[in-house]
């Protein structure tokens, strides 16, 4: 399985708004439950670095994700770096 890992840093004053927009994406995912999608987002301990791990399709089609993307450039301090990754294992309880 292939996944994408996206990492970026927001401006300090934009980090909470970034998190709010990500939470909106997860709210819409909970309503629409796209099949075959695994999506996780992390806010690292520095408070301004975010990491998203997505495996599957469907996130770009979400209204909340489009809103997240629309204003992302204004919130960024360091542009997103995307790396493809191969899933070696996955566990979920």
Contacts 24+ apart (CB under 8 A), 55-58: 55/1, 55/2, 55/3, 55/4, 55/87, 58/32, 58/34
* Domain residue ranges of the chain, discontinuous segments joined by +: 2-86
Q: pLDDT by residue (tens digit) across 2-47?
A: 799 999 999 999 999 999 999 999 999 999 998 889 999 999 999 9
pLDDT for the residue numbered 90: 82
Q: pTM of the full predicted structure?
A: 0.92
Question: Which of 33, 39, 29 has the alpha carbon at shortest distance from 63?
Answer: 29
Task: Quickly state the pLDDT bin for 1 (edges 50, 70, 90).
Answer: low
Q: pLDDT by residue (tens digit) across 44-81?
A: 999 999 999 999 888 888 999 999 999 999 999 999 99
pLDDT for the residue numbered 6: 97
Fold of 2-86: Alpha-Beta Plaits (3.30.70)
């Amino acid at each position: 399985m292939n996944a994408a890992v996206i990492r970026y840093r927001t401006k300090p004053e934009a980090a909470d708004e970034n998190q709010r927009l990500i939470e909106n994406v997860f709210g819409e995912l909970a309503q629409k439950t796209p099949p075959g999608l695994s999506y996780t987002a992390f806010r690292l301990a520095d408070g301004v670095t975010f990491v998203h791990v997505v495996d599957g399709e469907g996130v770009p089609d979400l209204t909340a994700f489009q809103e997240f993307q629309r204003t992302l450039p204004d919130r960024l301090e360091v542009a997103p770096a995307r790396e493809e990754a191969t899933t070696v294992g996955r566990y979920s309880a």
